[in-house]
Amino acid sequence: MILGYLGAGALLAALVMGGFSSLLSFWSGIRQSETFIQVGRRAFYAAAAMTFLSAVVLEVALLTHDFSLAYVVEHTDLSTPTALVAAAFYGGQEGSLLYWTVILGILGSASLLASASLGGRVAAYAAGILASILTFFLFVLAVVASPFDVLSVTPPDGLGLNPILRDGGMLIHPPVVLAGFASFAIPFSFACAALLARRVDAAWITHTRRFALLAWSLQTTGLLLGMWWAYHVLGWGGYWGWDPVENVALMPWLATTAYLHSSQVQERRGRLRLWNFGLVITAFLLVVFGTFIVRSGVVPSVHTFAISAIGPWFFGFLVVCLLFSALLLTLRSNLGVEAKPAPAVSREGAFVLQNLLLLGVVAVVMWGTVLPLVSGMFGVQRVAGASFYERAAGPLLAAILALLAVGPLLPWRHAGRATLRALRWPVAAAIVALMVLLIAGVPSAPALVAFPLAAAAGATALTEYARAALRKPRSILRKRRRYGAYLAHLGLVVAVTGVAASHFGQQVKDVTLQPGEAVTVAGYSLTYTGSEQRQLTDHTEFVAGMRFGDQTLEPSRATYAGLGGQALTHVAISTTPTADVYVVLAGTNPDGSATFRVFVNPLVIFIWAGGAVIILGVLLGNVGERSAAMELARRRIPVTLPA
Amino acid sequence: MRWGLPGAVVAACVGYLIYSASGGATEYYMTVSELQAHATAGDVRVAGVVQDDVHKSDGLHVTFTEKDGTASMPVQYTGTLPDIFKPGITVVVEGKLGGDGVFHARTLLAKCPSRFSTQPYVK
């Protein structure tokens, strides 16, 4: 009980400090009062610290099973393992918002600490905007969806966590995704601050890029972990279902991918200034939009979210952010005027085209996500299935893959004959891949496009490495950012190969087997050896044995008596170098037979491995790296513009 | 080069892709009573609550009645069932309503009681 009051008190204190920081920072930024800028920033740190304190209180309440708090009762019980009790912190609506706010406070503080080089005004406005966003979240937490609501009667035990969520994935996927979502606010705040202060020079890009890269890396990791979790737990043989919840996590990622590429055009050539602001702002607006969509229940999703009171508040917040950004971009549109046009066939041109294509994918995903909402206004609701996304986004993704092969070979400014010669390796790789596929008798046209393009893109990245290794091996270490990016490209090619192979090559078979009987799927033979029933503390498990080579796979179904007989399927997956053999126990029958659904998913491991390489490339390329913009600033190349 | 022209070209392509995919690759999403009011030829998704008459002939073949308050329809489905499938939950079936009045489901999704609890504890 005392913890409830302590936590609510800390939230209230954070709310007051946040509001104070917001007002003071804007005011001191306008007045350019260095002292008050400092005070405003410290008020932000104080708000972040109080938010952190309330998070500690909630975690203590969870771990000590303080069932006087509604949140603790709704998400845990005495039998929940300790790690999952701790994870329940972000397992519910209110707690996940608190987690989000804590991350915003921590990363926001870090970004403000690092913002000294930007000059008083930008730093002050950034603090003001960050504090405003923080204040909005704290207001929702303190007033609309408090995790510290105290029950009038303290129950002896809680309701517990759904068994589907009682999994290791619960410990890693949600915190990374939520941290990713929270971190998009930082590039947004600095972009808006720079626009407000009319500072569009290199220092802005350097600072924003660093945090955009952090947000992007968190979101990449979060998306991959989510796919991995869905694949290993849900038992439908896939990892991506185009559900609104997945879509809204993908869209800001796509917009930030565009920004990370186009910001280089500004760093190197001073172009696309306004465009870059637009991308950073778009990414954040997509985050707010996604949060509204997911947590208000306005579109049908397989994920059911509590229809809670926070929906209208987030809608209001979205409208305010949208109007503010649109107004800001309109008022500062003169900052985007560029000296002279750039030639189309150049690195700049490739980046612009890639950006447009990525935004095209965002448009497709957005349309598919809001279609039920829009069509519902004009009659019967329509929903977009996976085939909508494949047909509409597929060609755009193929074009992006083609650019991945061509773009890195194009020089800045304009391309000449040398570029055509450089293209010979990717073209050769694509032709070889196409021949191999044709000889292997692959009939699917999309597969015949996807694999050769992936091969070409891979060849391009490898050519860049080979060229550097032959001429100036040390440049690979010196230009870390560039070669880190090529490593990320290679990782993407590997992941795309895995996605394409598992998408085009998946085989499924439903089969009912008597003990001793075997089934063969895509050349993999499995023998059913019989099933047994195991009684565990809170659930009963039916385990079937499947002999596969020299291993035994054990797909199973657990039934939780305490939760109204809810069942939970455990998929058995055996990863071979070329495919995953993925066995789901559909049921056991009275005659001793068992029914299985067996998937053979080619090259799924490429997706996880490729994802790891992407993250590795980003880390190797950027941690401790001095950016190109810093170099330009150091060499005193003027990039500041007239106001 | 001004970026307006490539922008317009890409926008037109994206618009065309969305338009053409919307025609064939989107489905109606309705309740049982809406389905009975508008007969549609293509695949549809129908949401409703699973009734008590669930019959599984083995792990993969299942028949049950789906109801949405007023209207109900029999559903036939072959495939793995979601873990939380049981009478009383809301499911979304995707498939066609046959001439015999039985809905032949190709996929069956259960509303996932995910991270955010559906039944708030009485405060």
Q: Which of residues 73-102 of B touch A (CB under 8 A)?
A: 78-81, 83-86, 92, 94
B12 and chain A in contact, CB less than 8 A: no
Closest to A507 measured CA to CA, from A598, A608, A603: A598
List own/partner pairs for A639-642 with CB under 8 A and 24 or more apart: A639/A201, A639/A202, A639/A270, A640/A199, A640/A200, A640/A201, A641/A198, A641/A200, A641/A201, A641/A273, A641/A335
Distances (CA, A) of A281 to A209, A277, A325: 13, 6, 7
A380 and chain B in contact, CB less than 8 A: yes
Higher per-residue pLDDT: A49 or B112: A49
Written as six digits, the tokens of A324 are 């503010």
B21 and chain A in contact, CB less than 8 A: yes
Contact between chains at A567 and B79 (C-beta distance less than 8 A): no
What pLDDT is recorded for position A409? 86
Cα separation, A299 vs A369, in Å, equals 8
What pLDDT is recorded for position A14? 96
* Residue A542 distance to chain B (closest CA, Å): 13
Chain A residue with the nearest C-alpha to that of B81: A586
What pLDDT is recorded for position B114? 44
Contact between chains at B29 and A306 (C-beta distance less than 8 A): no
Domains, chain A: 1-163 (1.20.120), 167-336+352-363 (1.20.120), 507-602 (no CATH)
Cα separation, A85 vs A125, in Å, equals 39
Degrees to nearest 5, angle at CA A151 with A563 and B114: 40
Greatest Cα-to-Cα distance within chain B, rounded to the nearest angstrom: 67
What pLDDT is recorded for position B122? 36
Strands B55-56 and B26-31, bridge-based pairing = unpaired
Closest to A627 measured CA to CA, from A162, A197, A202: A202
List % helix, strand, coil for chain B (3-state, nearest 5): 25, 35, 40
**Percent of chain B predicted with pLDDT > 90:** 0
DSSP summary character for residue A143: I
What pLDDT is recorded for position A565? 65
Q: In what order do the strands lie in the sheet with A572-575?
A: A507-513, A594-602, A579-588, A572-575
Contact between chains at A306 and B116 (C-beta distance less than 8 A): yes
Domain-located, residue B2: no
Phi, psi of A611 (to 5 degrees): -60, -40
Distances (CA, A) of A437 to A353, A431, A432, A446, A493: 29, 10, 9, 12, 17
- Which of helix, strand or coil describes residue A292? helix
* Residue B80 distance to chain A (closest CA, Å): 6
Domain-located, residue B70: yes
Contact between chains at B116 and A305 (C-beta distance less than 8 A): yes
CB pairs under 8 A between A and B: 189
Domain-located, residue B81: yes
Residues 6+ apart with CB under 8 A from A8: A54, A142, A146, A148
ipTM computed for the complex: 0.80
Closest to A570 measured CA to CA, from A522, A603, A534: A534
Contact between chains at A385 and B79 (C-beta distance less than 8 A): no
What pLDDT is recorded for position A398? 94
pTM, two decimals, is: 0.90
Strand partners for A534: A541
Closest to A140 measured CA to CA, from A20, A17, A316: A316
Domain-located, residue B1: no
Q: Which of residues 39-78 of B touch A (CB under 8 A)?
A: 45, 47, 56, 58-60, 78
- Domain residues for the domain of B36 are 27-110
B25 and chain A in contact, CB less than 8 A: yes
A413 and chain B in contact, CB less than 8 A: no
Distances (CA, A) of A182 to A25, A117, A212, A300, B3: 21, 24, 11, 24, 32
Mutant choice from B80, B106, B107 vs A, greatest count of A C-beta within 10 A: B80
What pLDDT is recorded for position A638? 45
What pLDDT is recorded for position B69? 76
Cα separation, A476 vs A463, in Å, equals 13
Domain-located, residue B120: no
Domain-located, residue B96: yes
Per-position DSSP letters for A557-601, written without gaps between them: EEEEGGGTTEEEEE-EEEE-SSEEEEEEEEEE-TTS-EEEEEEEE
What pLDDT is recorded for position A640? 43
List own/partner pairs for A75-81 with CB under 8 A and 24 or more apart: A75/A158, A75/A159, A75/A160, A75/A161, A75/B117, A76/A158, A76/A160, A76/A161, A77/A157, A77/A158, A77/A159, A77/A160, A77/A161, A78/A157, A78/A158, A79/A160, A79/A537, A79/A538, A80/A158, A80/A160, A80/A161, A80/A166, A81/A166
Q: How many CB atoms lie within 10 A of CB A332?
A: 19
Higher per-residue pLDDT: B30 or A56: A56
Residue of A74, A344, A594 with shortest CB distance to B117: A74
A226 and chain B in contact, CB less than 8 A: no
B112 and chain A in contact, CB less than 8 A: yes
Rounded CA Rg of chain A:
27
* Residue B9 distance to chain A (closest CA, Å): 10
Chain B residue with the nearest C-alpha to that of A366: B18
The mean pLDDT value for B45-66 works out to: 82
Cα separation, A553 vs A316, in Å, equals 51
B6 and chain A in contact, CB less than 8 A: yes
* Residue A544 distance to chain B (closest CA, Å): 13
Distances (CA, A) of A72 to A67, A75, A260, A473, A637: 6, 6, 41, 57, 57
Distances (CA, A) of A403 to A122, A279, A399, A450, A461: 35, 20, 6, 13, 12
Residues 6+ apart with CB under 8 A from A491: A610, A611, A612, A613, A614, A615, A616, A617
- Which of helix, strand or coil describes residue A154? coil
Domain-located, residue B75: yes
At B117, the pLDDT band (50, 70, 90 cuts) reads: very low
Cα separation, A317 vs A489, in Å, equals 36
Taking 80 as the threshold, does the pLDDT of residue B1 lie above it?
no
Contact between chains at A306 and B117 (C-beta distance less than 8 A): yes
Q: How many CB atoms lie within 10 A of CB A398?
A: 16
**Residue that has been written with the tokens 């998946």 in this structure:** A506
A393 and chain B in contact, CB less than 8 A: yes
Taking 50 as the threshold, does the pLDDT of residue B49 lie above it?
yes
Residue of B18, B56, B117 with shortest CB distance to A587: B56
Do the beta carbons of residue B76 and residue B104 sit within 8 Å? Answer: yes
Contact between chains at A300 and B92 (C-beta distance less than 8 A): yes
Strand partners for A595: A512, A587
Residue of A342, A395, A566 with shortest CB distance to B83: A566
Chain A residue with the nearest C-alpha to that of B18: A392
Do the beta carbons of residue A525 and residue A511 sit within 8 Å? Answer: no
Domains in chain B: how many in total? 1
Cα separation, A39 vs A50, in Å, equals 16
Chain A residue with the nearest C-alpha to that of B92: A302
Query: Which portions of chain A are predicted below pLDDT 50?
Result: 629, 636-643
Q: Which of residues 88-107 of A touch B (CB under 8 A)?
A: 91-93, 96
B56: chain A residues, CB-CB within 8 Å = 587
CATH code for position B75: 2.40.50.140
